Amino acid sequence: MAESTQGRYVEPGQEFNRDTNYIEDRITRDGRDGWPVEAGRYRLVAARACPWANRSIIVRRLLGLEDAISLGLPGPTHDKDSWTFDLDEGGVDPVLGIERLQQAFFARFPDYPRGITVPAIVDVPSGKVVTNNYPQITLDFSTEWTEFHRDGAPDLYPEHLRAEIDDVAEKIFHDVNNGVYKAGFAGSQRAYERAYDTLFTRLDWLEERLAGQRYLVGDTITEADVRLFTTLARFDAVYHGHFKCNRNKLSEMPVLWAYARDLFQTPGFGDTIDFDQIKKHYYIVHSDINPTGIVPKGPSDTGWLTPHGREALGGRPFGDGTPPQPPRAGEEVPPLRD
């Protein structure tokens, strides 16, 4: 089976393989790929339901890039062809004037052969997609868009820690971020159990690593924490049941659960999470796994607001910087539900 918008492909009896071929153009200060950094020119299209897109929403918030890069929010579900703007009036993105993200891809590549993925950055004047290379998008927000960072923006990718951040992030990608998908979309019992074992071995490693330090690398929030958080935020709501990652819940791993709550309660993280959209996406779109389309009512969300005690480990969430301001009008998420 294949699902183009998710960039996933698996045959019965085989392991899940993610298509990691993305549009590699970058938006840089020197404009070497033809896309110079320019406030107001680009629109980030990022569905709240998607963990890969959620990263870019968080980094945009933390760095204060809201005035420089606008945000388009597709709905939580999509068809086999494209993410759609069904949350907007008339089902049309108010800035790009399109109903489907696919239109921006086809505006640049009429025969674009790959999945229509989020996050994607679109050049507003031309209506053409610039890039959907999600790992590079957040790094470039940190390193190429510094002119437009808010006062007090944190350094999420400090130069002296980049090698360690990259190493930790790579492990997390293969075993956790993508690991839950390897389990959920496994084409055989053997492939599933291998992915399951790898996932929980890495989660145990993270549990041990974070027992004595507040953040993954150094004493401040970095890109590595952003990348882990979006998977942890979806774990109990989706991955534990829907993807059969059920050795235990996140809420049954005391260190990781406290770490995840610490980040959730940090401005810029929890205020980007919409659990209703997350559940609708996975349980409705993945009809091969959940053919009834029934979306679970639970679990309760309010546990995310309980005390975590991680302050005792020290650390400075924003380093020498400050928290971001509350989300701007139109970018808020609904309150948590019991």
| Number of Cβ within a 10 Å radius of residue 196 | 21
Query: Is 83 known to sit in a ligand binding site?
Result: yes
Expressed in angstroms, the distance from the first to the final Cα of the chain is 36
Phi, psi of 281 (to 5 degrees): -60, -55
Phi, psi of 291 (to 5 degrees): -65, -20
| Number of Cβ within a 10 Å radius of residue 202 | 16
> For residue 97, what are its two tokens?
């004037």
d(CA 29, CA 286): 39
**Per annotation, catalytic residue among 42, 134, 157, 181:** 181
Is position 181 annotated as part of the catalytic site?
yes
**Per annotation, catalytic residue among 22, 50, 239, 245:** 50
Is position 112 annotated as part of the catalytic site?
no
Q: How far is CA 192 from CA 187, 199, 290, 329, in A?
A: 7, 10, 17, 43
Q: Are 23 and 7 in contact (CB under 8 A)?
A: no
Q: What is the DSSP letter of 238?
A: I
The CA R_g of the chain, rounded to the nearest whole Å, is: 19
Q: What is the DSSP letter of 261?
A: H
Which helix (H) or strand (E) segment is 138 a member of? helix 134-143
Q: In the chain, what are the helix, strand and coil shares in percent, each to the nearest 5?
A: 40, 10, 50
> For residue 162, what are its two tokens?
């980049």
Residue written as token pair 């053919």: 291
Binding residues, as ranges, are 83
Residues that are catalytic: 50, 181
Binding residues for glutathione, as ranges, are 83
